[in-house]
């Protein structure tokens, strides 16, 4: 029986690992690195403040329709980008994926502004709660916690490298500037 349990644990890890990696890539690279700054910019725009007031006055059914429509477009663009990647059209797929990020940022903003109205639909609230439970379960996995610690350590390592070598008055910068000036002098003589 212990062989079966050992096999099942390894199988579970094989299933969990891709989920965790995909989630970390989305959360760390896409959301934190690209989408959150866009989201923050969107919510700070003056025209968005007026749109927020308009959304508060709009019926919940209209909001749900537009939210789902935008969400389908964003997710459809993500799937199409994946298909383009698989077909070998990397640049086109990357362009499509990057173009969907501002729309996703707008969708997150819209959800935050209209959350109460969207959650007033029973099925929507049920789906939202299930999704939150799934993400909490995923974040509670040992493999997720371990991987996030590794990601954090890697980020610290690169941040320290950046501070050590790329700060304005560091030795690396001085030597690179000197090399540039020396090379410029050599090429200017010709």
CA distance 110 to 100: 15
Residue 187 Cα to chain centre, angstroms? 44
Intra-chain end-to-end CA distance of the chain, in Å: 79
Assigned domain for 114 exists: yes
Are 85 and 93 within 8 A, CB to CB? yes
Assigned domain for 184 exists: no
Assigned domain for 164 exists: no
Are 55 and 61 within 8 A, CB to CB? no
Residue bearing tokens 């020396």: 182
Assigned domain for 187 exists: no
pLDDT in tens, the chain (190 residues): 677 777 767 766 666 666 666 666 666 666 666 666 776 776 677 777 788 888 888 999 999 999 999 989 988 888 888 888 788 888 888 888 888 878 887 888 888 889 999 999 999 999 999 989 988 887 888 877 887 788 778 778 877 777 776 666 666 667 777 777 877 777 776 5
Which domain covers residue 105, as residue numbers?
A: 52-140
Consecutive H or E run containing 158: helix 142-166
- Cβ-based neighbours of 77, under 8 Å, separated by 6 or more: 96, 97, 99, 100, 103
CA distance 73 to 96: 12
Assigned domain for 176 exists: no
Assigned domain for 104 exists: yes
Q: Determine the 3-state secondary structure of 169 from DSSP.
A: coil
Are 93 and 84 within 8 A, CB to CB? yes
Assigned domain for 25 exists: no
CB atoms within 10 A of CB 77: 18
- The pair of structure tokens assigned to 23 is 């989630």
For residue 58, the 8-state DSSP code is S
Assigned domain for 32 exists: no
User: Number of folded domains in the chain?
Assistant: 1
């Amino acid at each position: 029986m212990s062989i079966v349990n050992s096999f099942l644990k390894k199988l579970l890890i094989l299933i969990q690992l891709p989920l965790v990696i995909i989630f970390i890539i989305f959360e760390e690279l896409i959301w934190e690195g690209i989408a959150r700054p866009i989201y923050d910019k969107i919510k700070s725009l003056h025209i968005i403040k007026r749109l927020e007031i308009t959304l508060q006055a709009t019926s919940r059914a209209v909001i749900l329709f537009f939210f789902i429509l935008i969400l389908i477009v964003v997710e459809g663009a993500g799937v199409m980008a994946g298909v383009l990647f698989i077909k070998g059209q990397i640049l086109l797929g990357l362009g499509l994926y990057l173009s969907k990020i501002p729309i996703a940022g707008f969708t997150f903003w819209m959800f935050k502004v209209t959350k109460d109205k969207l959650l007033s639909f029973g099925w929507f609230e049920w789906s939202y709660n299930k999704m939150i439970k799934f993400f909490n379960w995923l974040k509670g996995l040992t493999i997720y916690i371990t991987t996030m610690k590794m990601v954090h350590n890697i980020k610290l390592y690169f941040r320290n490298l950046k501070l050590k070598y790329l700060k304005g008055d560091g030795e690396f910068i001085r030597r690179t500037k000197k090399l540039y000036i020396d090379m410029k002098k050599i090429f200017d003589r010709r």
